Amino acid sequence: MRALVLLGLVATVTPAPAVASAAEDEAAALTLADRTAESAEKGRDWRVFAEAALRQSKRQGAGQTLEGGRLSMDLRYDGSFASGWRAVVADRLDMNRGEIAGSGNVNTLKEAYLSWQPATDRIADLGRINARQGVALGYNPTDYFRAGALRSIVSLDPASLRENRLGSVMLRGQTLWAGGSLTALYSPKLADHPNASAYSPDLGATNRQDRWQLALGQTFSDRINPQALISGGAGQSPQFGFDLTGLVNDATVVYGEWSGGRAPSLAAQALALAQDAAFRSRLATGLTYTSPTNVTLTLEYDYNGAGLGAADWNALRRGPAAAYAAYRGFVADRQDLPTRQAVFVYALWQDALFKHLDLTAMVRQDVVDNSRLQWLEARYHFTRIDLALQAQLNNGRPGSNYGALSERRMWQLLARYFF
């Protein structure tokens, strides 16, 4: 190696050897290519992995140490069994042990549906489907089917929250044309309440009311890509949504996601207060910049017009614990923001320091109460195994958005094996 470095130094000052050196390097590269084995792999309909995790955390307050472990199996099948027909099943089993909340087994039937595509541009689906909408990273106001979808939270990484969630049972149809599509779906009420038992499909978590949605997407140019949505259901006014992505330059994507419509505040819904329906907006807007070294940085501003402003939030924090807990539980179930404003920062450095090491950092800042969640991950990829170390730190005054989380800091070591 040292000889190669020296060779490089010499090459920079003497042009003739530089040509010779380049020729040698290229000859060496071609020899490597000669030795490269034929290794094209075939696609598979399955993706299965097992994951083991050890976790240690410190509680807020006295700082009691809690330890726990988890073993998970995650399966996804997406196959075609006849011309135009497709079956999708995605399931995850988390077996939690230890002193942490949520111990025991939790099975999450994420998806189970059939898809029929009689023509390239027409598709119908029936079953439990993760119908995800939205282009933002930290908060998705137009992801209307996120409510009730989280059954087992194994990481606060937004990528994990998106993946480990319940779809809703629905009938969905889509028609497509060059550069655009129209999607309509109907999701019926199937149960009254969620079911926390370990192996329940938990239809009550996702199908507690009749709902419908229309989504229209149309690409106007390779720089601007918008989508419009309208979503409604029993006992609620239609909500309008709009997603937009744009390319600022070679390295920067901007995005915006807005949802608005008449709706009661979250507090009125959670605490059964007097109805206060009004037109309320939710917004997430930000940009993602990629550096020449392939570090991707996202900055996002989030606004929830149905959340609590500073005065009401402070009043709730100082009021009865039961009301506070009811509000937090309701908002968490809907994957919404408890307060009006937040900032989200997410950075990913792929192949950081050395090949196959990815470093991820996330900060969620509640602008209203100044509390903060910080999350870091170092993940190393082997061919079939991922090793990850995650750390989380929650800062804030008692009762604040992140200061109220039961654990102040947390470490988690993960090993994932892909079959």
Partner 1 sequence: MPLAGLASAAPSAQSILAASDAIRNPGKPFALTVTLVEYRNAKQTDSNTLTVYSSADPHSGQFRSLIRFVAPARDANKLMLKNGNDLWFFDPASKASIRLSPQQRLLGQAANGDVVTVNLAKDYQARIATEESIQDGERQTRRCYQLALAAVAPDVTYHHIDMWIDAGNSRPVKARFYTASGQLLKTAYYRRYQAQLGVERPTETVIIDGLDPNWVTVMRYSDYAWRAVPEVWLQRDYLPRFRPE
Segment 251-290, which members bind partner 1 (CB under 8 A)? 251-253, 255, 288-290
Radius of gyration of the chain (CA): 25
216 contacts: CB under 8 Å, gap ≥ 6: 180, 181, 182, 183, 227, 228, 229
Q: Which of 67, 237, 315, 351 is in the footprint of partner 1 by CB under 8 A?
A: 351
Stretch that binds partner 1, among 94-102, 180-188, 318-326, 365-373 (CB under 8 A): 180-188
If binding is defined by CB under 8 A, does position 414 make contact with partner 1? Answer: no
- 279 versus 382: smaller Cβ distance to partner 1: 382
> In degrees rounded to 5, what are phi and psi of residue 63?
80, 30
By CB under 8 A, the residues from 198 to 227 that bind partner 1 are 217, 219, 222-223, 225
- 44 versus 97: smaller Cβ distance to partner 1: 44
- 96 versus 227: smaller Cβ distance to partner 1: 227
179 DSSP β-pair partners: none
As measured in angstroms, the least distance from the Cβ of 163 to partner 1 is 4
Cα–Cα distance list, 388 to 51, 54, 333 (Å)? 11, 11, 27
If binding is defined by CB under 8 A, does position 1 make contact with partner 1? Answer: yes
Cα–Cα distance list, 186 to 108, 113, 207, 234 (Å)? 22, 14, 11, 12
If binding is defined by CB under 8 A, does position 250 make contact with partner 1? Answer: yes
If binding is defined by CB under 8 A, does position 123 make contact with partner 1? Answer: yes
- 262 versus 356: smaller Cβ distance to partner 1: 356
Question: What kind and span of H or E run contains 416?
Answer: strand 407-418
Write out the two tokens for 49. Answer: 């992995």
Write out the two tokens for 343. Answer: 């900032």
Q: Which of 73, 78, 238, 370 is in the footprint of partner 1 by CB under 8 A?
A: 78
As measured in angstroms, the least distance from the Cβ of 219 to partner 1 is 6
Q: Which of 174, 200, 314, 341 is in the footprint of partner 1 by CB under 8 A?
A: 174
- 38 versus 192: smaller Cβ distance to partner 1: 38
As measured in angstroms, the least distance from the Cβ of 9 to partner 1 is 14
By CB under 8 A, the residues from 12 to 71 that bind partner 1 are 22, 25-30, 32-33, 36, 38-44, 47, 49
Count, residues near partner 1 per rule CB under 8 A:
76
- Amino acid letter at 270? A
Task: Give the whole-angstrom CA distance, residue 291 versus residue 275.
Answer: 48
Buried-state track 267-300, b at ≥16 Cβ within 10 A, e below 16: bebbbeeeeeeeebebbbbbebbbeeeeebbbbb
If binding is defined by CB under 8 A, does position 249 make contact with partner 1? Answer: yes
